[in-house]
């Protein structure tokens, strides 16, 4: 286990091959302050640069995941010396090489849904409630629409944006915003199962899978086949593939999987 010092608005910890970023403003329902956004961005960069990290988890402290912009923030409240724009955080999640898991422990509203939608895997508590609540205060979910509509599509997005209605963890799965909804008490164990599953894959293969899913849906069939034939050839010729296929033939774990136990802890 490795740790980065706790900061004002976030916590950071590495365990079982995963970097855990915890939004840590429970008194404000983990609202998006300039400090919190900047710290999340810095933690994402640290996790991407750490060779011991295979995946990244974003979750919230207390009963909520993230309530969106901090509407209670008072003029004159302290700000960090360097402010990172929220789109930079969403881009870092979406385009970063390592898979990001959103562990939605509680309510996720408005801007907080941006981090949910940008993540590669989303596991939510059934009890969590979601809402694109911006319209209720006379604004729109403009910035987060860039990632949210990629998951929801215009059909679900239109209704949810127009009404601001709340929807449950189970409905988030139906809408394509989440992958699994589980009882709150089972949330972290389910997230750990996803971490363990990722750890069984070849490290480079996991990185390339994320790139593949991001790239292929936006190109034509002809472009896709041209791109992926070369991609497949390079992967089959890699040292990682040679080790994986040798392990299969020899009925043993590949080197990357043999280094971790069933719980994901280094052996």
Residue 127 burial (10 A CB sphere; 0-12, 13-18, 19+)? middle
Give pLDDT, residue 3. 56
Give pLDDT, residue 260. 58
Tokens standing for residue 111: 């801007």
- Report, as ranges of residue numbers, the positions in the chain whose pLDDT lies below 50: 1, 261-267
Q: For the chain, give the number of residues.
A: 267
Give pLDDT, residue 217. 93
Give pLDDT, residue 263. 45
Q: What are phi and psi of 4, to 5 degrees?
A: -110, 140
Give pLDDT, residue 266. 43
Give pLDDT, residue 264. 46
Give pLDDT, residue 4. 56
**pTM assigned to the model:** 0.91
| Beta carbons of 199 and 260 less than 8 angstroms apart | yes
| DSSP assignments along 8-51, one per residue | SSEEEEEETTEEEEEE--GGGTT-B-HHHHHHHHHHHHHHHH-T
């Amino acid at each position: 286990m490795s740790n980065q010092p706790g900061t004002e608005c976030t916590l950071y910890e590495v365990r079982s091959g995963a970097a855990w970023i915890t939004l840590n403003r429970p008194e404000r329902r983990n609202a998006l302050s300039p400090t919190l956004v900047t710290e999340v961005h810095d933690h994402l960069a640290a996790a991407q640069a750490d060779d011991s990290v295979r995946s990244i988890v974003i979750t919230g402290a207390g009963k909520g995941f993230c309530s969106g912009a901090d509407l209670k923030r008072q003029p004159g409240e302290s700000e960090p010396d360097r402010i990172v724009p929220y789109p930079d955080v969403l881009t870092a999640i979406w385009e970063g090489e390592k898979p990001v898991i959103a562990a939605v422990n509680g309510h996720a509203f408005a801007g907080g849904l941006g981090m949910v939608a940008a993540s590669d895997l989303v596991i939510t508590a059934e009890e969590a409630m979601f809402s694109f609540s911006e319209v209720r205060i006379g604004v729109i979910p403009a910035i987060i629409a860039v990632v949210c509509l990629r998951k929801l599509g215009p059909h679900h997005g239109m209704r949810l944006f127009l009404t601001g209605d709340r929807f449950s963890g189970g409905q988030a799965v139906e809408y394509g915003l989440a992958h699994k909804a589980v009882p709150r008490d089972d949330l972290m164990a389910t997230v750990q199962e996803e971490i363990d599953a990722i750890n069984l894959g070849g490290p480079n293969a996991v990185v390339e899978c994320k790139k593949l899913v991001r790239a292929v849906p936006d190109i034509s069939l002809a472009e896709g086949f041209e791109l992926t034939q070369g991609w497949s050839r390079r992967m089959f010729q890699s040292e990682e593939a040679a080790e994986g296929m040798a392990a299969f033939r020899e009925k043993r774990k590949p080197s990357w999987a043999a280094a971790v136990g069933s719980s994901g802890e280094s052996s």
